Amino acid sequence: MFANIGIPGLVLILIVALIIFGPSKLPEIGKAAGQTLKEFKKSTKELTGNVTEEINDVKKIIKDSK
């Protein structure tokens, strides 16, 4: 999704963010974005683990019924 941005595009985004939010708010925004990504990753792992457990349970039931 972001593979086509590149370094110049990333620098441009950072400069625009600096102009819009100012230097005092930028670290807070970065911290909030990092925490959001961390929570998203954690939720994704939990969901994937739950689905994997359900699939394994179904496989076991199918195997036991044969």
Q: Using one digit for the tens of pLDDT, what is the confidence trace for 19-42?
A: 998 888 988 988 999 999 999 999
Q: With a cut of 70, say whether residue 4 has pLDDT above it.
A: yes
**Does the pTM exceed 0.75?**
no
pLDDT (0 to 100) of residue 5: 78
Nearest CA among 8, 33, 29 for reference residue 17: 29
CA dihedral 26, 35, 12, 2 (to 10 degrees): -170
pLDDT at 43 (0 to 100): 92
pLDDT in tens, 42-52: 999 998 988 89
